[in-house]
Structures are given as C-alpha cells and as structure tokens.
Structure 1
C-alpha cells in the first residue's frame, strides 16, 4: 500500500487503489470500487491471495477467501497486513518482468522477460518467462523509463530491482517493484559476459568489485514455473526423461516431492518445479517449454 502511495504521488502510472479493512462489510466495501478490480493481501508473495473480481458478488467471495487465507496456520502476517487488504483497478494488457541493477541511481536493465500466457484472472499464476522481450524497442524503452521513475519515487539507488509491469495502449503500468532479484530458480535463465550468473553480478556490485559486463548472453532463454493443476497429494511424476530430452530444453527440475500436499492458487504459493530452455529465438524457447511441459504427467490423488 505504501509503495502504491509513493508511486502515485510521484506520478508513476499505477492502478487506482484503495485499502480496505478486513473488519469492513465486504458488500458495502464493494460499492466503493470500480469493476473489474483485483483484491490482494498487503503482504504474501507469488500471487498468493490475488483474485480478480468482476462483480460485487465476486468481490465478496474474494474478500472472504483472502480473509480466511490470512488466518491459516501456514500464513504469518501482522500489523496492517493482518487487518487490511488492497483493492486495485484491473489493468488489461501484456505483462512483463524487468530485472535490473541500480548503480549510483542509474538503472541498468539486465533482462526484460515476456510473459506469453495471459494473466487475466480470476487467479494470476505465472508460468512462462522468456527473454529477450519481443516487444518493440520503443515499448521496451518506455518500460525501462517507467521502472526508472518508480525506483526514484521509492528512493532506490543501489542494488537489484525486480519489477512487474503491464503494458497497453496507455503505456506501461507498474504492478509491483522491489529491491530484490527474481525469485525461485528463475535466475538460472540469466548469464552475463563470459558466463557470470545474476547472483555473482549482484554480489560483485555489493562488494564494490569490478563487473566485466552487464550484457546478457546472446541466446534467448526462458523458464516455465510448472503450475499445480489441482489440489491433492503428489504421488509420482511420469515423462521426466521425455521432457528433459525436448529440443532446446536444458533442464527439468521437479521441486515437489512424492507425498507432498499440493495447494493451488490462490491459497497455495508453490510450483511443481521448473523447466529451462535456451536457443537462438525467443519463440523457439517458448515452444520448447510448452512441449516439455506437455510430456510431463503428474499423478495427484
């Protein structure tokens, strides 16, 4: 909420938003928002608890679902995060993720990821990230400029930045921005200069050591965060060898284990694993990820 306030005050394009107390009557609260809207907790991560509502009825259901989520045993929130949620305007458009490094206030874009799967709700499970972006150069420059403005509004001047933006005919809109690097295993997609990892780039910058190059390697790369198709207990995974043998696929990592309880969004936050691909063209990377995923079969009871 405070991030939204800072960005809006600085004129950075963000969705219209308001904070709503969980003690409020959701029917009355719904009358004060425009639809479609997105409800989300003030904390949590990985799209957990993020729900789109198109009507007052859907708003009430989403409100109550988030309220129930925040009192689960596996959720730890306190302060305002335990008392409020955020309702914001749903912004249509393409979604991208920007990975950057701030050096003396200047944003160096390390990678811009396209998210080719539509993220239209009612939940917002991320799946595929592919870089370099296939958006026009002018659009990519606008994304970088908007992210730079967001960093300035938040007072960020040094270190890693991860930003999520939507892009439509009105330009880029900042959904989230944080002084951190990309999460999970997704950073494995990125290599710089002569093979330097994202983590090495960040550490060298933090230590004041020289960095030979911030330029990402030439081949396109991508990752699929394997979504949980339904709730249940994971029994086994079939097709791992076939998926791993898919052309352009570098690795398939199954992070869930047999016997693990699987909880899909919006209550859950985990993935079944990750698929990594790398080749010359972004389109071929995307195709490889989809083909490899189609060869996996998860037995869930």
Structure 2
C-alpha cells in the first residue's frame, strides 16, 4: 500500500468506479466507504469500509481497525456527503474546510441567507416549513417561482411554478422531499446554467473549469452539458469572481469546491456551492474528455502535498465534449436493450451510461435521478459532438412494453 498516496472516497456507487480507476492508474491506493460491501467500486478499489456515508464515527472506527498505521492522506466525495468528509479530515488532522461552513453549504436556505446578508448575488427567496408559511412570500413577488427542497440531491423536488394556485402543492411536495422538512421559494430568473470547479489551497483560490448545463422540460431534469463553456473570456472571469466570493462568504477556503450558477445575460447568480468537485458525469467524463487529462488526479495530488501548485491549466482545452440524455418517447417497462456496444464504438463516442436496466419502468423524469442515461461524445465543435451523439442514439434500441393498470405518467 502506498502510504503517501492513500485516498478514501465516500460513496462507492456505479458512477464512482471511474474515479477509482483514474486514481489507481496514477499510483494512488484507493479505499472506498459504502453501506454495501459489494458496491460497484468493490471490484476495483484496494479495500472497502462497510459503513453508511452519513456515519463518520463508524467510518473512522473501520479505518483505525483496518489501516491504523497508514491512514488516508486525502478524503473526498463526489456526492452530497461533504459534511462526513469534513469531519473525517478534521479527525485525521488533514487540511479541511470548517465543518460549520460545509454544513451551511448543504442547506439551500442557510446558504441563501448568508449570501443575501453579505451582498453576494443570488435569487431572492424565502424559507417555508409548511403550507401555511406561504404567507411569508413577499406580495411584490409574482409567479413564476422556483421551489426547492432545502436539503436534497439530484434536483429531487425542484419545480418551476408558473401560477399561484399551484404553489401550495409544490411547496408540500418539496417539504416532503427535503431531509429537514423545509423548502425555499425563490424568484425565477430566466437564463443559462453554468457549473464550475475550483480548488482552495490555504485560502488561495485556483479556478479549474466551467461547463454549460442544459435542462429539459423540467428545470430539475438535466438534459446535457458541454465543456469548454461557450461563455466569452470576460464573462468567465466574472463567473470565477462570483464563485470565489460565494465560497468565501460561506467560509469555505480549503480543498475542492463546486458551484452551480445562473447567467441572465448580464449578471451571474449563485444557486449552490459545495465543498467538493462536481459529480461523476462532469468531473470524471465531460471535463477530462475536453481537457485530455484527469481532473481528480491533479486536484488530489495538490491536496496531498498541501500545495497550490496544481498540474492543471484552465485555458488548455483539447477538444469539445458534450453529453446528452437518452430520450425515449414511449413509456413502459424495458424488455430489451440492444446496440449499446455498437454505439460505444461509433466515432467520437467517449461513453454511454445507462441508468436503467431490463425490468425498469421508463417514466416521465421529474429529476436527474430518473433519466434513462447519457451519451458522451467529443469533437472539434459542439455541432460535431451532437451529430455523433445522434448517430450513437440511433444505433441504440431500447424496447418497452406497456404495463396494464400501472400509471407511468
């Protein structure tokens, strides 16, 4: 086991397998913590700790039993389990953001309150804990509204409400989807969505990447993304200024950070910040395919050495990479999946990720956890990427059968 390059990842799901592969290829000893000892990463990781990702005490106990003389030098997650990561980093006496700042970042309500108080540009909004709390919405604020569970992931429970008579139902649903039974009702600002990654080394902000994200019919359903960003250089500078300002306002000034931001054609607005890199689709596939180099490896190498000297140039893009969701017009139960291996070998195809299997129901997706899958392609420009995705999509055949008396939306 490599003592200096020993890393622990919290969460060992299917989409995290690529993180283990990239890190092991770079010489890291990779441990994974997951509630399932037979998680997808178990087949490739050096070891697995069987522990719930929200139980840092259990994870630390398992670490001390398994590797007492060779504890991890880096702990990370690509999921929402950032509070666990912060607690473990502090326990292991490793560079870490404050636990309080990470806890605040995990709450849309607490984050928004902090940004509004400190003058960081973010959509106006109020916190609602029950349907009666709708009276707290300012009368000057008219529909449409964006309703968000205070603590949730994958866009679950996020909806755009275009009329006041739908507001109460949306609020109740968002409260049910939130881990703390609260939601945020915020003003809707029309614009484009942009995802950013960066890294803090002892308070110094190092920008890494920007990608542009697309949504489908529902604002909660991700339909694709492109890297590099189509924003002009001066706007990218403004984006990173807001990114750094948003993190510092919350007190996050150490380690990897990510942002979701909205651009209305004039100004950027922070929607969300977290003490981690963006999830697997962006950080493990989209960005590395565009830059021609792993994003995780140089970031975690820099963290391990506690240095701001990171082997990454945010301007050195190799090619365009686009991913799009796999769209199926019909609704029903999957009975066969054909052509995936042929589609994977089409020109420019980087990866095809199926999130549904035979026997699963295809419904109208309400959040990004319910999409069928994604196709990734590279090319010299966005148009070429999208043409290659269409070619692969046409080769892929997913057959469905209707299930009687089952509501498939």
Pick aligned residue for 2:256 from 157, 160, 185: 160
Provide the secondary structure at the position in 2 that maps to 1:6.
helix
11-20 or 287-296, which deviates more: 287-296
Report the TM-score, using the length of structure 2 for normalisation.
0.62
C-alpha RMSD of matched pairs (Å): 2.9
TM-score by length of 1: 0.83
Greater shift in the superposed pair: 151-160 or 271-280 = 271-280
Select which of 105, 117, 142 maps to 1:9: 117
| Equivalent in 348, 364, 379 of residue 279 of structure 1 | 379
The answer to whether the 8 Å contact 1:94/1:118 transfers is no
- Aligned match for 2:207, one of 106, 109, 122: 109
Shift of 1:225: 4.3
CA offset at residue 107 of structure 1? 2.7
The 3 A distance-change label for structure 1 pair 8 and 226 is: farther
Q: SS of 2:369's equivalent?
A: coil
**What displacement does 1:23 show?**
5.1
Q: Does 1:293 align with 2:393?
A: yes
Q: Distance in 2 between matches of 1:149 and 1:282?
A: 31
Query: How far apart, in 1, do the equivalents of 2:147 and 2:256 lie?
Result: 27
Q: Secondary structure at the match of 1:45?
A: coil
Contact 1:242–1:295, Cα closer than 8 Å, also in 2: yes
Gaps (5+ residues) in structure 2?
A: 1-108, 403-409
Superposition pairs for residues 75-224 of structure 1, below 5 Å? 77=179, 81-82=180-181, 84-115=182-213, 117=214, 122-186=218-282, 187-191=284-288, 196-208=293-305, 213-215=311-313, 217-224=317-324
Which range moved further: 236-245 or 148-157? 236-245
Task: Give the structure with the larger helix fraction.
Answer: 2
Greater C-alpha radius of gyration = 2
1:253 is aligned, of 350, 353, 360, to: 353
8 Å contact kept, 2:302–2:310: no
Count of residue pairs the alignment pairs up: 288
Could you say which structure has the greater relative contact order, defined with CA pairs below 8 angstroms and 6 or more residues apart?
1
CA contact (8 A) 1:20 1:29 kept: yes
Q: Which has the higher strand share?
A: 1
